[in-house]
Amino acid sequence: MIVMKFGGTSVESQQAIARVTSIVQAAVDRRPIVVVSAMGKTTNKLLQAASEAAAGRRDQALAIVDELRAGHLLHGLALAGAAAADLDRYIRAHFDWLDELVKGLSVVGELSPRSMDAIASVGERLSSLVVTFAFQAAGIKTQHVDSRRVIITDDRFTQAQPILDETYRLLKYVVAPAAETAVVVMGGFIGSTPDGHTTTLGRGGSDYSAALVGAGVDAEEIQIWTDVDGMLTADPRIIPGGHRVKSISFAEAAEMAYFGAKVLHPATVIPAIEKNIPVLILNSRRPEVNGTRITAQAVPCRNPVKSISCKRDVTILNIHSTRMLMAHGFLRRIFEIFDRYQTSVDMVSTSEVSVSLTVDNCDHIDSIHAQLIEFAEVATESSQAIVCLVGENIRHTPGIAGRAFQVLKEKNIRMISQGASVLNLGFVIANDDVPDAVAALHQEFFSDLDPAVFD
């Protein structure tokens, strides 16, 4: 049994879903369970409709819903063959319900995380139906499973965490047997609380869904199909022309994902590590490319750095307190405040008189700031970026930091951290310095490539 997850661009249109159909058809013997994202940019648009409605802009919200309805009908019905009338009914029923919800929100004028999830979930509920109909029309024996029946989560709406034992139990007893006799299709990203309220696993969460399904059914492989040839040596949106990394360890992939490589959701590797299931990143537009294989052990490689990842738009807080510094409980006091506001800290560095840290979620930054200044001076700097060199060999290779900082000698480096995991070397620079810095680092570390690992 294998899991095949197709991201938004891989199911964005009739043509894209036709490609997915032939990729899955060629793998039917491996008993695939297919996990799909919402079509194209649907999730963004659904959330936009929700916020327009909550702001009282009812007509704008309904216009977005209309546009989505038209897109789903256009691409979906073209794929459904003889069953087009059934799919038409399903799609219209979902959008009628959305219309009502959006009208309701525009009257109430507020948007709870729970309503956001109810609305955002429609993308994957529909894409999984469209893909099911497309497979059936192509003659693939297919069974649709509503992910909300099997991915059971806590009630942290918009960022829900799966309740693993219950989820794994349902995957094993509901999904695995179904996959013995048909290709199972499920929506990624969505789940439900034990009492039946729809939740989502956070943006980009379909990768995580796929990994949960893989772990739950003891899959032999988890395939993440996307719009690039695999994990690349740098984010292609920052510098084009990066090289494909053919193989990488779980630890390296997790570090890349955590520090901004959007190609994989950071939580994805956790279930895969638990069950030691290899994860492959593949390109649905170029299925003949071998992609990236992520496994427990890194393939020996003479390059110390595997990839440069980058997380933009982080904020630095410089916390300075001569009164409290070195005093017992100072750091605890700082971190308790971040904990209280459920704000995670990405990078920390301390010096004798100050603690600097970065956050990417600024929703509660004003409250955090107000509490910190009760015992410390605080300066914040926004529009910063964390750039990370990732590679297991960084720890064994002397001089990496020297080379990196030589390359960046013209840049103002705001913070430096050699991670406790010792497989990354990270630093913070201004957002605007990112393209130059990444290009220069890429030149320094990837001019001479080990063909065993890079393409």
**Which residues are near ligand ASP by CB under 6 A?**
7-8, 37-38, 43, 123, 188-189, 203-207
In angstroms, the CA 117 to CA 157 distance is 6
Which of the choices Mg ion, ligand ADP, ligand ASP, none does residue 43 contact, using the CB cut-off of 5 to 8 A by kind? Answer: ligand ASP
Q: How many CB atoms lie within 10 A of CB 245?
A: 29
Query: In this chain, which stretch among 100-108, 118-126, 150-158, 199-207 interacts with Mg ion, using CB under 5 A?
Result: 199-207
Binding mask 421-440 for Mg ion (x = CB under 5 A): --------------------
Our CB check for Mg ion shows the closer of 10 and 349 to be 10
Q: Closest CB to ligand ASP among 117 and 433?
A: 117
The binder of 192, among ligand ASP, Mg ion, ligand ADP, none, by C-beta within 5 to 8 A per type, is: none
Residue type, 417: S
Cα-Cα-Cα-Cα dihedral sign, residues 276, 263, 310, 233: positive
* Smallest distance, Mg ion to C-beta of residue 187, A: 14
Binding part of the chain for Mg ion, among 136-144, 197-205, 290-298, 382-390 by CB under 5 A, reads: 197-205
Closest approach of ligand ADP to the CB of residue 353, in Å: 36
DSSP calls for 163-227: -HHHHHHHIIIIIHHHHHHSEEEEESSEEE-TTS-EEE--TTTHHHHHHHHHHHTT-SEEEEEES
Instruction: Kindly tell me which of 146 and 227 has the beta carbon lying closer to ligand ADP.
Output: 227
CA dihedral sign of residues 201, 204, 208, 210 = positive
Q: Is 55 or 270 the residue whose CB approaches ligand ADP more closely? A: 270
Q: CB under 5 to 8 A by kind: which of Mg ion, ligand ASP, ligand ADP, none does 205 bind? A: ligand ASP
Among 204, 260, 266, 304, binds Mg ion (CB under 5 A): 204
Alpha-carbon span 276 to 367, nearest angstrom: 41
Site string for Mg ion, 5-34 (x = CB under 5 A): --x---------------------------
> Which CB sits closer to ligand ADP, 136 or 442?
442
Q: Which residues pair with 171 in a beta bridge?
A: none
Write down the H helix ranges in 55-195: 58-79, 84-108, 113-137, 164-170, 176-181
CB of 120 or CB of 263, closer to ligand ADP: 263
How many other CB atoms sit within 10 Å of the CB of residue 105? 25
Residue nearest to ligand ADP (CB): 7
Q: 329: which 2 tokens?
A: 């409980």
User: How many amino acids of this chain bind Mg ion (CB under 5 A)?
Assistant: 2
At closest approach, how far in Å is the CB of 105 from ligand ADP? 27
Long-range interactions of 354-357: CB distance < 8 A, separation 24+? 354/318, 354/319, 354/320, 354/321, 354/325, 355/318, 355/319, 355/320, 355/330, 355/331, 356/316, 356/317, 356/318, 356/319, 356/414, 356/415, 357/316, 357/317, 357/319
CA quadruple 345, 215, 122, 166: dihedral sign: negative
End-to-end CA distance of the chain: 29
Least CB distance from residue 335 to ligand ASP, whole Å?
28
Choice between 105 and 281, CB closer to Mg ion: 281
In whole angstroms, the minimum distance from the beta carbon of 11 to ligand ASP comes to 10
Look up residue 227 and give its amino acid: D
Contacts with ligand ADP, residue ranges (CB under 6 A):
7-10, 37, 204, 226-228, 231-232, 235-237, 261-263, 307, 309
Closest residue (Cβ) to Mg ion?
Answer: 204
Q: Which residue lies nearer to ligand ASP by CB, 205 or 242?
A: 205
Query: What burial class does residue 432 get, using C-beta atoms within 10 Å of its C-beta: 0-12 exposed, 13-18 middle, 19+ buried?
Result: exposed
Nearer to ligand ASP, 10 or 106 (CB): 10
| Nearest-approach distance from CB 180 to ligand ADP, in angstroms | 28
Residue 7: CB minimum distance to ligand ASP, A? 6
The two most distant CA atoms of the chain are separated, in Å, by 75
Residue 9 contacts which entry, ligand ADP, Mg ion, ligand ASP, none (Cβ below 5-8 A, type-dependent): ligand ADP
Least distance (Å) from ligand ADP to the CB of residue 95? 22
Distance (Å, whole) CA 235 – CA 166: 36
Which option in Mg ion, ligand ASP, ligand ADP, none does residue 123 bind, with CB closer than 5 to 8 A by kind? ligand ASP
216 binds, among Mg ion, ligand ASP, ligand ADP, none (CB under 5 to 8 A by kind): none
Tokens of residue 224, six digits:
């993440």
What is the C-alpha radius of gyration for the chain, rounded to an integer number of angstroms?
23
Tell me how far, at minimum, the Cβ of 453 lies from ligand ASP, in Å: 27
The least CB distance from residue 68 to ligand ASP, in Å, is 13
CA distance 275 to 218: 7
Distance, in Å, from the CA atom of 129 to the CA atom of 149, rounded to the nearest integer, reads: 15
Asked whether the CA dihedral 261, 265, 271, 277 is positive or negative, the reply is negative
The secondary structure of residue 80, as a DSSP letter, is S
Binding site for Mg ion (CB under 5 A): 7, 204
